[in-house]
Structure 1
């Protein structure tokens, strides 16, 4: 079983990757997309989005990170992939799934799912441009407005040289609305010879088990479910090992609190001041799905923007203050 951590623009960046991989259970991460628009990007852009390149393409916990590129011009994608490859990424992933309007309007992300031939050209150009030992993978949705071309798109990725395909089991038109259509993944698996990874709406251990059963995939990619429950990957592994009785406590709130403190420390040292308070609130907001204590914490911090006040609040949270966590 392989568990991957998804790229999530504006949420699951290098700061959260560091924290979540410290919790454990993840085999590999994928960076947020690096957008390629026709120019050759300088190294500093790759390093800003994926600073793990300075650490052997691994998080500080030692988990490999694959760099993701998004673009539609084969030549420009190839040139940038070659430059990126010189920085030593674990591999290069190609984004054919982003549903953002601004990306799709310029022919990137999920928009390419309407053009299998262009997908094949992009993948092939990148594959030729980087060393043979470097993995080139791809991520797709089931389609743009419908699923009519899903098999052709997956076959185009394989034909171009992709060694692995992640399938987010929704179309661009579906956005992020549940459900994810895992039952459509087996046809894609049968249409290609490379490994296929299932992605979408995996929030719990039970979701993971059903997704594997329905999709036939042994490998899963976890996104918002892992952000909302940082212990999800560990819990999935514990359940597989027969430890179902302790799955609910894979990562209990007291265990998570030091990771929240670490997250805030990294946010304050690595992100712009205007982003800091919002990033903590964003994560606490998602954690409310899993932890009652997060609901209490979120309500206490949601109106605070002063970094010094939040730092003191996080310190008190770490000390187990009854006033802070409402116990």
Structure 2
């Protein structure tokens, strides 16, 4: 593998994403400045300046015209992806943890954290409605929880969102019925859901958890199809677009491994066969836990972001591209 190591963040990475074509890589970290890079050579194009706290999540619309960021400074910002200018700012009383665009790019969802008297919420707004995006306006979909919602994404077009919680619970809501979830899975994970990602074809979800597992779920009913076990907490997981492969990344918290060797922290990214749940490859690179990862639309590249502040773009060798699983 021939990795590019991108140094543009001063603190730990929280999210990396590719746009639909894969020519651009978007990243955010705990250092206030989300960045965009050329995937081909790792050149940094620029950053989105405006946040005053850690940026926990970033997403880009299907046509790369807009991106959205969620920050600990109590705001979600909608940006012009090309110009870097802020189009809208959504304020809340507590930090924002995750955000994402719908399939059409017209809706944006985000999660807020539980703090003092404020419950955790998941909210959805329509970017086409100026009234919803105005200062102090209410979202058209909002639901509250006693436990922190750590991540949320649109899992079926613009209609259904899937939410992961700090307790390990997974729920799906239909935007037309915010009162009660349509599907729930409370047995697949025992600890916090760190990441949720949709498969490129939209038929599966993969969840990463601090209980040292990742689970492949049916997008229609949240039924567990497969589960992948690791030796350390799993912070992120992604599904290959062109092969039956899963990649997991994680590792012990940096605080717990400062007195030990790098190898003891299990900072490698691990590739599993989707069907057989067996690990068959791994690659190193980060000097700390892997916090986030994304598979390139071509299937030949993986981007990872770590606690060490680096984004690494790993291009697979011919050995992997020609690999066939023996069964």
Q: What TM-score does the superposition give when structure 2 sets the normalisation length?
A: 0.34
Q: Which has the higher helix share?
A: 1
Q: Which one has a larger percent strand, Structure 1 or Structure 2?
A: 2
Q: Specify the structure having the higher radius of gyration (Cα).
A: 1
TM-score, normalised to structure 1, is 0.34
